[in-house]
Structure 1
């Protein structure tokens, strides 16, 4: 006997012609485990079958005798083809290589091999199920649980021994189990939001297991996103109001012409109950504008609700926006009823959900996930994008009809690096906001700090400036914000800027009049009564008095 792969092949055999006398066959079987009889038909006789051969006459030809008693023939196949033939195991199978016989495989050996392979595949599957972080469930065609991994135990607080072999419907409501739909409908599910019970939120991928075009079971992986959902809810509950609700357009009194034009458009559309699209770089103030439009318009007495497409898992979009049937948590559209829903980074919304947003804009009603009743709300929609949606439409990455529905009013916000005059006023606003938040006296700002603020490129735009001011207020332990309170990225830039501005004769130069602009801003906003060149301002005067 020898082994090819995991299959044992018997090679103790002899080959005899069909005209061999039976007594010679019996003699040959004493020296071999098997005898192969060749001729018009091919037979295999095992050693333990020699007593049957002895029932015939000694000189009777073996081929005639086997044909007379209707001895079953044996299949001849290659090792590669043996697994593809299902109906060959009534007799031992002859294995050939080319035209030569190399061995014999018995039905018992093939059965042992299949059991061993099944055990290995089961081990592979169980190891895979335990390797992934998601809950893994497998059921047979009747819904009995075959696999329940450790992650599933943690997600659902059900031990493996308590559920294996039982119908999954004994532990969950039938209508809430995707695997039941898989077994009846045979359609796979990808990235679907699901709530199998009141406390758990998951994203599910599920597929039917098919054999011979029949559904014999199903397997599902479920990513537990309960913490993500709760975090989003917590962030929503802690969302800051970035503008003065009574005077929402007061956060920019002067400013560059580009931003002033955006302000004028925003003020005009505030009372028009139509969608607005805000575009611009990340952090350029799109949420501030959205809040100004809300609090400055007809929806100001209603709620302002945000939905950030960058932080929501793809499978959660539909449930987040439209809600889930039979749950206490309302949808974003319901939360913003008679108010405004701000969809931040709509360019990151999956394409398949954009059609549903368009449907709501054209007919302000929707279905909850798993529901069949249309819910009507009066929610205004403001969206923002950091990418040019028109180019995304051309590439087929954004719904064209939704784009034109949103782009009725488009307000493009220039980056903060192009709005130098606005920096002083935004600093003033943020310092006051965070001083109140952290219960500190409104501090002064050194001239060096203002120099840094004006010269810095602000890649994170208004949001970065706001974060820097908050950092300064938190770290402040005196009455003045100085360079030591700034992040290293800003202070390093200040050192480079000083080198550029100081000439070989030690004099300070400004090629873009920014120094004069800063002084004018000080006079306008901070009450400095006399203009002096910045280079001549004394140390005591180089701070902002509030």
Structure 2
């Protein structure tokens, strides 16, 4: 914290007088001290002194002062004022500009502490996730409303108490952070026999010493169970979904984009709104996040059925061939050209969508022609003399920062504003780890059908490794990893040893804990009808949830995120009696 930024304008007193001479006698000093309406300082060879009248003896006293610069830190001020009750403040030219007392400084620090506590409390009261903070003795300092919801322990009951009074030590990941300085990120953790959470945990350091630990947790138990049951519908549900998509043009085109995380939901909402207009759309996102899927979904939502969707990868076309690929060419336009000529991508996209993928890689000389095309919807083929008029909607995508490219002179600013009417960013997979389980199950079944290799399950250690990986290649990398696992599977079993080499292997949990974890089972041999399977799975989910809460229907309905009336209705239809 810079001294001048945080203190000088607030608490440094500038009402003072400097006596330069060291020869000031006691009589003169007394007159100065008595008559002064402000603090008086004397500069000596030994350092500055504060001249004041002693309240009891009424004699002049000389009190040594510290010196602080406007560039001093809070730590510097604390150390200086600990040894002296007052300090003179100098500017960058070593001129004295004010003074600071220990009392004022202490009051300021206390006020700042109160402000920081107010901010911290508001932050913790605002977040939905469970967040727990413990001190070096494992006593709970902070316990959020999210923690109350997940663990059914009230803040007033746990604050100030050892966390081990409420939870078994072997299930407390936060203790590993406290004792060993171990941090975990997006790790699946078995917090209780019936509870699985996504966990982040870090130690709290002060002066290189661990003084506590913090853990944040998100309950994913229901997500795991629901994904298990949904996955168990296997081939029939998957095939049915594909058939419906083929036969029903009214199906939501965004259904191909998997995930239920808040990040992907926000992105889908923006994309849907973008699809309600003919405006140009610019999609940002790292490689492998699925930008083309979003582009196709926007196209399918706003264009009539059978309208063309023409994609151009601007980074894959050699600059010398770019113009002929985009605009096409007339017969004999250049040596080696097709004798019949060739239509360009723009003409093929007529009355549909032109998707300019990796637009940031487009050669600069082509950007002028693309800008004119977008403005006038007219172009000439290479070697052609007749102007062709064409109507289309444009969607562009990039993994580059276009504004940075503009500043470097590698992208035209006018083209940027033409493309950037509506824009959104597709979040990378590492920012939505809760979607990894759903995407894994989806790809696992899709690829098991492709390779005709029925998969009976995915073990906890494999899923843990998938959740821990940062996925620099995003969804494309995840799908490739799952494809590798399926291709290498034997007898319907997926092995952790078949994960790609760059992925970390997470050791399997102890057998007793592993036995309690929800399994990821896949049954592709069940001969029941789809409707019968769904009834079986629904009944099993409700019975398991009722068992967890000892038959408390209100709590069961709350955990399943349905009303109590809906729960009673489903229990009656499924023949569940308690």
Higher relative contact order, structure no. (Cα contacts within 8 Å, ≥ 6 residues apart)? 2
Scaled by the length of structure 1, what TM-score is found?
Answer: 0.45
